[in-house]
């Protein structure tokens, strides 16, 4: 490999308030006042962007904190004029597991942009180029300043390096995509994989930038970042140390130390970064929330590939039903279920479907006798086309369920009739929440918002 060019400064996308919060604090750890209090200091750091929110986090604001998620975007955007706020989406879905129609997604993109989101990351779980290009076009048409498309990394008989290189070349044909990123939510990327994939992404997408996003679930994230730098990537995704490591992203502090040791430069304000890190460390102690710690390498992780958040959620669910001893068997079952489903990538929402099905299969006397509506819709093809064929016997069993025919008729969420249902004068932002969330939760948020 050629010697890396170290002349171009490395950019850092901060993930603390979105991915760090989700990975370590269950997405519920931060309120609007929490984020707003430190926003000016975060703006001084010099981050390339702030991985700020998603529809999941917006729902958490309403459901757990009775806060208006749109107001959070507006307030923090005003407090951070130098740092673009980012909204991440998995595609044709907003809050609800039910897929959404294009009219809904257009309104979502228009609304987030209007309220202060300047950058959107699109990580469609099937890695289908046509779907990614379509979403990028919609985002651009609805006023988003910067569109970043992710190819989500996974390992299976079909998810080869050629598979990813082909898709990188395919999405490069879209003028609506400003940046491409290699998204590794499971922390699966080895140095060998980065050494092979990163140059192929860079070559396919040149001269536009390529970013790298990984996790520390089995300790590989920091190593992947160093290898990515050597291959030519100049934008990395990190969280400040209290919300880094573990199942989260590599820490900003250690990433800067590593890149400096390799001869690279950056433009971040270390004093402001230290202030931000100290704030979240104190906040975690105050709320009795766990701080990130380095994880050990676990080779078994490559079999199930469950995101860190889903691992802890599954452990909690088994404990709640009094069967914690089934955890290891559930992980083994996840591997089998994923293969039978055509090797979907283990990201939202499919990772939740797989984990829930594995639990039901382990508890039941016969596999695939208890199946969620979402799993039925998966086999009906309502979410995306799997990368590999599904197991025909499992598909036959699932689609033979009496409710399968009823679910087959379900249409994606649409704005048709929504104004009539919720009121002609309802703002777009409230309309989107009412379309996708229980009425009592939205009502509770509005009551608290109106309180003095």
- Could you give the number of structural domains in the chain? 3
Domain-located, residue 200 = yes
Asked if residue 1 is part of any domain, the answer here is no
Residues 168 and 112 in one domain: yes
* Domain-embedded: residue 97: yes
Q: How confident is the model at residue 4 (pLDDT cuts 50, 70, 90)?
A: low
Same domain for 56 and 155, yes or no, is yes
Q: What is the CATH number of the domain that holds 70?
A: 3.20.20.70
Tokens in use for 229?
Answer: 């730098």
Residues 271 and 201 in one domain: yes
DSSP letters, 225-281, are: HHHHHHHT--EEEEB-GGG-STTSPPBHHHHHHHHHHTT--B---HHHHHHHHHHHH
Lowest mean pLDDT of 26-35, 142-151, 278-287, 313-322, name the range: 313-322
Q: Are residues 258 and 390 in the same domain?
A: no
Domain boundary among 264, 287, 310: 287
Q: Where among 287, 322, 339 does a domain terminate?
A: 287
Domain that residue 225 falls in = 11-287
In a domain, 293, yes or no: no
Whether 350 maps to a domain, the answer reads yes
CATH number of the domain residue 347 falls in: 1.10.472.90
pLDDT tens by residue, 21-30: 999 998 999 9
In the predicted model, what is the mean pLDDT of residues 215-235? 97
Cα–Cα distance for residue pair 418/432, rounded to 1 Å: 9
Report if residue 2 sits inside a domain. no
Residue 3, domain member (yes or no): no
Percent of the chain whose pLDDT exceeds 90: 89
pTM: 0.95
Cα angle at 83 between 79 and 89, to 5 degrees?
105
Domain end (from 226, 253, 287): 287
DSSP state of 410: P
Q: Give yes or no: residues 19 and 147 share one domain.
A: yes
Clarify whether residues 439 and 396 are in a common domain: no
- Whether 269 and 372 map to the same domain: the answer is no
């Amino acid at each position: 490999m050629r010697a890396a060019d170290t002349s171009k400064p490395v950019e850092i996308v901060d993930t603390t308030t979105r991915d760090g919060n989700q990975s370590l604090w269950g997405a519920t750890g931060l309120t609007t006042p929490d984020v707003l209090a430190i926003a000016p200091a975060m703006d001084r750091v010099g981050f390339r962007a702030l991985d700020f929110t998603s529809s999941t986090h917006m729902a958490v604001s309403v459901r757990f904190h009775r806060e208006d998620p749109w107001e959070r975007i507006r307030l923090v955007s005003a407090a951070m004029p130098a740092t673009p706020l980012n909204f991440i989406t998995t595609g044709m879905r907003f809050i609800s597991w039910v897929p959404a129609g294009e009219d809904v997604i257009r309104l979502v993109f228009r609304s987030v942009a209007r309220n202060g989101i300047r950058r959107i990351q699109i990580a469609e779980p099937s890695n289908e180029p046509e779907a990614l290009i379509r979403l990028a076009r919609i985002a651009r048409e609805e006023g988003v300043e910067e569109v970043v498309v992710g190819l989500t990394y996974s390992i299976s008989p079909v998810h080869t390096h050629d598979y990813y290189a082909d898709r990188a070349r395919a999405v490069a044909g879209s003028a609506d995509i400003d940046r491409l990123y290699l998204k590794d939510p499971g922390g699966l990327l080895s140095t060998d994989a980065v050494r092979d994939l990163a140059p192929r992404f860079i070559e396919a997408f040149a001269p536009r930038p390529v970013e790298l996003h990984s996790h520390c679930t089995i300790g590989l994230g920091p190593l992947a970042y160093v290898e990515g730098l050597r291959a030519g990537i100049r934008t990395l995704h990190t969280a400040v140390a209290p919300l880094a490591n573990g199942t989260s992203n590599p820490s900003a502090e250690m990433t800067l130390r590593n890149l400096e040791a390799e001869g690279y430069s950056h433009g971040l304000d270390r004093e402001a970064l230290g202030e931000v890190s100290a704030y979240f460390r104190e906040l975690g102690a105050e709320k009795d929330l766990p701080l990130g710690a380095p994880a050990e390498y676990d080779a078994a992780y490559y079999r199930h590939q469950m995101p860190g958040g889903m691992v802890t959620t599954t452990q909690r669910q088994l404990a709640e039903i009094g069967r914690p001893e089934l955890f290891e068997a559930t992980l083994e079952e996840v591997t089998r279920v994923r293969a039978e489903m055509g090797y979907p990538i283990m990201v939202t929402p499919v990772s939740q479907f797989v984990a829930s099905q594995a639990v039901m299969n382990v508890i039941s006397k016969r596999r695939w006798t208890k199946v969620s509506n979402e799993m039925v819709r998966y086999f009906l093809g309502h979410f995306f086309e799997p990368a590999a064929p599904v197991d025909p016997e499992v598909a036959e069993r699932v689609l033979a369920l009496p409710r399968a025919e009823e679910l087959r008729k379900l249409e994606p969420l649409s704005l048709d009739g929504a104004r009539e249902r919720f009121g002609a004068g309802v703002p777009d932002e409230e309309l989107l929440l009412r379309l996708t969330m229980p009425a009592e939760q939205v009502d509770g948020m509005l009551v608290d918002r109106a309180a003095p």
